[in-house]
Amino acid sequence: MASYGTILTRVYTSRAQIPVAGATVAFTQRRQDGRHSLLAVRTTDQNGRTAQVQVPTPDPAASEFPGTLAPFAVCDIWVEAPGYALLLVEDVQIFPDTQTLQLLPLVPLQEQEDNTLPETPVVIPPQNL
């Protein structure tokens, strides 16, 4: 039986926590070969929020015993908005039948600064289950 969880995001300026409207948010999953598969692309609304994205998750019963599958799926989130540094958040956990809200703080760019991939992405550590 297929299980799904959902994820939505809130994008805001890093210090003032002002919503960033019109940001592009891409949800991806890493495949076995290390490449990314695109799950969805959303644009933030005036409150800095995206519509939810449904993500396939492991069947909860498959993780009831030690040494079995993790009880969650993971995805990476890429956020881009004019005037802000590109943000990459890796290993966001999505649990079956649960809605996940991921907060995404953007850092404003300095004048003439280039919007390139960050040197170190934000990595979400696994849940201590």
The domain spans of the chain are: 3-111
Pairing of strands 53-57, 3-13: antiparallel
d(CA 42, CA 49): 9
Indicate the SS3 state at residue 60: helix
Mean pLDDT of all residues in 19-36: 93
Residue 125's pLDDT is: 74
67 within 8 A of 21, measured Cβ to Cβ: no
In whole angstroms, how far apart are CA 122 and each of 56, 89, 90, 91? 22, 5, 6, 9
Q: Please state which architecture CATH assigns to domain 3-111.
A: Sandwich (2.60)
85 within 8 A of 109, measured Cβ to Cβ: yes
Given a cut of 80, is residue 75 above it in pLDDT? yes
Percent of the chain with pLDDT over 70: 85
For the entire predicted model, the pTM comes to 0.81
34 within 8 A of 88, measured Cβ to Cβ: no
